Homo-oligomer: A and B are copies of this chain.
Amino acid sequence: MTRVLVIDDEPSILRALRINLTARNYEVSTASDGTSGLAAVSRERPDAVILDLGLPDMDGTEVIHGVRGWSTTPIIVLSVWGAEHQKVAALDAGADDYVTKPFGMDELLARLRAAVRRAAPAAPDEPVVTTPGFTVDLAAKRVVRDGADVRLTPTEWQLLEILVRNRGRLITQKQLLQDVWGPAYGSESNYLRVYVAQLRRKLEPEPSRPRYLLTEPGMGYRFQA
């Protein structure tokens, strides 16, 4: 299910969006100011963000920048009619699209679908990666080894997913930490050591001599297919 975060300070809009989006089978969460909005993006990793530019605590473009610093989640901006400079600033900051208030729900939904669709092609190719030792199904979020499912915790899965999606490529420690734990992390490489070790224990034929989850000392990790 597609998860959408709505950041808006007007309860009526929040309510209308929640009802309409839920009815169309989106999973909706909300925030009513920029600070909690940024926290929510970091915490929930929504598939899309709907952001009202007129927030009480900070400028909308600041929120966009805060998100764009580490994530490419599509952002659709709501702005009042006539605030052209604001719209331009928001798009420059990295927003994907905008809708002028008052807006038709159909238009918003269309733009939301488009934005999510545009962001999707991250997974067009090979949603299943196979090695001699195990198989990773990215779409189904499943790992099979010796015919049996391997049970992974959420954090283990996120880590594995990033490495597998970038198979062959070296991913730096900082990037892994930010993608899995959020933008506030970047130097806690001990987390990585613990979770990589757990993945190796569950996936590698010889966990102490890894064949697929390789360490590049001082730089990061690499998934070798």
Contact call A170/B140, Cβ cutoff below 8 A: yes
How far, in whole Å, are A154 and B219 apart by their CA atoms in the complex? 6
A141 at the interface (CB under 8 A from B): yes
> Quick one: CB contact mask for A189-221 with B, threshold 8 Å, 1 for yes?
000000000000000000000000000111100
Contact call A216/B141, Cβ cutoff below 8 A: yes
Chain B residues with Cβ below 8 Å from A68 are 1
Given A25-B93, A113-B92 in contact, is the A141-B69 Cβ separation under 8 Å? no
Interface residue SS majority, chain A: loop
Q: How far is the CB of A110 from chain B (nearest CB, A)?
A: 10
Contact call B154/A142, Cβ cutoff below 8 A: no
A169 at the interface (CB under 8 A from B): yes
Contact call A139/B217, Cβ cutoff below 8 A: no
Which 9 pairs across A and B sit closest by C-beta, in order of nearness?
A141-B170, A154-B218, A140-B169, A25-B65, A154-B219, A140-B168, A92-B113, A140-B170, A1-B69
Interface residues of A (CB under 8 A from B): 1, 24-25, 61, 65, 68-69, 92-93, 113, 139-142, 153-154, 157, 168-170, 216-219
